[in-house]
């Protein structure tokens, strides 16, 4: 997997080290553990997916995280992306709308000794106002548009990565930066994510 990532152009040593230290199979059900280190998107239940390693790496790299930062992730899912982020930042806040997925993710954080992750079951498109502002925000589900609430919780100089577009075949990754003169937007290329859905999921 590490060789695949380098070949895919991932150069950030911190990102590579965090991914090397994170056992991806721990975040998958038994049925998919054998494929854990292939460069593939894999199902995690509830019709949700864990992105391919190269996508996780590229998005993490694009976030330009340092160890002093407070980071918000939307869509905890399996917890894999959160585990990678948590090794690079000071504190990670992560919100998931499926309580059952969140419970499993929390068990994994505990098993790995990742004590700087705080989670919440809820609608991540509203962000986490009590903890705002965040220096970095990563959204791992696709929205029709950049959620306003999240933009409002991005610190001065902050960066947000968000997949935008509801048509799975016409989605792209945006990198937004809050500069002195407002928001600068950069398009990072096509991508494919499950949709960001409002409200907490039922059982
Ligand atoms: N980052 C995850 C993969 C995310 S899949 C990982 O590393 O495994 C997208 C996740 O976003 C799913 O778990 C889905 O339930 C969640 N999601 C979708 N809409 C949401 C919302 N409004 N608030 C919080 N989580 C949401």
Q: List all residues whose CB is within 6 A of at least one atom of ligand 1.
A: 44, 48-50, 74-75, 77-78, 80-81, 95-98, 101, 123-125, 140-141, 194, 196-198
Instruction: Out of 97, 101, 163, give the residue to mutate to test ligand 1, the one with the largest number of ligand atoms within 8 Å of its CB.
Output: 97
- Above pLDDT 70, what percent of the chain? 100
* Residue 70, beta-bridge partner list: 91
Residue identified by tokens 């899912």 is 77
Task: Report long-range pairs for 108-112 (Cβ below 8 Å, ≥24 apart).
Answer: 108/26, 108/27, 108/78, 108/79, 108/83, 109/79, 109/82, 109/83, 111/26, 112/22, 112/23, 112/26, 112/83
Reported as a pLDDT band with limits 50, 70 and 90, residue 202 is confident
Q: CA 57, CA 98: separation in Å to the nearest integer?
A: 24
Backbone dihedral angles phi then psi of residue 90, each to the nearest 5 degrees: -80, -50
Q: 87-119 pLDDT, tens per residue?
A: 999 999 999 999 999 999 999 999 999 999 999
How close is the Cα of 18 to the center of ligand 1, in Å? 21
- Is residue 203 scored above 80 in pLDDT? no
Closest CA to 56 of 4, 128, 92: 4
What mean pLDDT is predicted for residues 9-21?
Answer: 97
Q: 139-193 pLDDT, tens per residue?
A: 999 999 999 999 999 999 999 999 999 888 899 999 999 999 999 999 999 999 9
Helices (H), 73-124: 80-86, 99-111
In the prediction, which pLDDT does 141 show? 97
Q: For the chain, which residues make up each domain, given as ranges?
A: 56-191
* 134: CB partners within 8 A, 6+ apart: 70, 71, 72, 93, 128, 153, 154, 155, 158
Catalytic annotation, pick one of 51, 78, 94, 125 = 51
How close is the Cα of 141 to the center of ligand 1, in Å? 6
In the prediction, which pLDDT does 199 show? 92
CB burial of 126-139 (b: ≥16 within 10 Å; e: otherwise) equals: bbbeeebbbbbbbb
How close is the Cα of 180 to the center of ligand 1, in Å? 31
How close is the Cα of 100 to the center of ligand 1, in Å? 12
Closest Cα to atom 11 of ligand 1: 75
In the prediction, which pLDDT does 196 show? 96
CB 128 within 8 A of CB 72: yes
Closest Cα to atom 14 of ligand 1: 75
Closest CA to 150 of 81, 91, 74, 58: 74
What mean pLDDT is predicted for residues 68-96?
Answer: 98
Q: Is 51 a catalytic residue?
A: yes
Topology adopted by domain 56-191: Rossmann fold (3.40.50)
Look up the pTM and report it. Answer: 0.97
In the prediction, which pLDDT does 168 show? 83
- Is residue 78 scored above 90 in pLDDT? yes
């Amino acid at each position: 997997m590490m060789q695949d990532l380098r070949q895919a152009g991932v150069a950030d040593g911190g990102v590579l080290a965090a991914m090397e230290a994170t056992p991806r199979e721990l975040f998958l059900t038994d049925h998919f553990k054998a494929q854990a280190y292939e460069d593939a998107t894999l199902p995690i239940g509830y019709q949700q997916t864990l992105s391919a390693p190269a996508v996780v790496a590229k998005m993490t790299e694009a976030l330009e995280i340092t160890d002093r930062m407070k980071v918000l992730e939307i869509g905890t899912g399996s917890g894999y992306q959160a585990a990678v982020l948590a090794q690079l930042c000071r504190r990670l806040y992560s919100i998931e709308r499926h309580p059952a997925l969140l419970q499993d993710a929390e068990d994994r954080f505990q098993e790995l000794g990742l004590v700087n992750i705080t989670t919440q079951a809820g609608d991540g498109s509203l962000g986490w106002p009590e903890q705002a502002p965040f220096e970095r925000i990563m959204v791992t589900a696709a929205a029709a548009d950049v959620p306003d609430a999240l933009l409002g919780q991005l610190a001065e100089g902050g960066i947000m990565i968000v997949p935008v577009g509801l048509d799975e075949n016409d989605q792209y990754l945006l990198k937004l930066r809050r500069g002195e003169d407002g928001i600068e937007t950069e398009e990072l290329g096509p991508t494919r994510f499950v949709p960001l859905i409002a409200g907490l999921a039922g059982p």
